[in-house]
Amino acid sequence: MMTRRSLILASTLCAFASAAAAQAAPELGDYASTAAGCASVKYDLTLTETGAAFPAFACEALALQPAEATDGKPTFQAASQLCYSSASNRPVAKSFKLVVDQNRLQVLWPDGAHSPWLTRCDKK
């Protein structure tokens, strides 16, 4: 009985891991809500390997974890203990979700607010 439960648990975890791996992680780069924002280098979000920068604050040591899909789109929970506002050098913790739709992202904030869809700026 215990072996059967262990096998069921193991297969469930493998299925979850496969589904999470299948989610396309957000592409690194600069994102803007309009083409003009890309052209004028007025980005709404810049994602790097280790962080995220918004116009009003930036987060270092950003952790991205797959989350439950939003409207069928891959979603990632982002969290950091090292977020700095443009007005303070004191780090604060922040979390938000990133919804991925091909070359676009939407930021979902814990208070229910969300950004417009942000398009990845093409660097040609």
Chain segment 42-91, per-residue pLDDT in tens: 999 999 999 999 999 999 999 999 999 999 999 999 999 999 998 888 99
Looking at the 3D structure of the chain, how many domains does it have?
1
Cα–Cα nearest to 105, from 121, 118, 123, 122: 118
- Could you tell me whether strands 92-101 and 104-108 are parallel, antiparallel, or unpaired per DSSP bridges? antiparallel
How far is 74 from 99, CA to CA, in rounded Å?
A: 6
End-to-end CA distance of the chain: 60
pLDDT at 92 > cutoff 90: yes
**Considering the domain boundaries, does residue 112 fall inside one?**
yes
**Considering the domain boundaries, does residue 69 fall inside one?**
yes
What is the domain range of residue 41? 26-120
Which residue has 């974890």 as its token pair? 65
**Considering the domain boundaries, does residue 89 fall inside one?**
yes
pTM summary value: 0.78
**Considering the domain boundaries, does residue 2 fall inside one?**
no
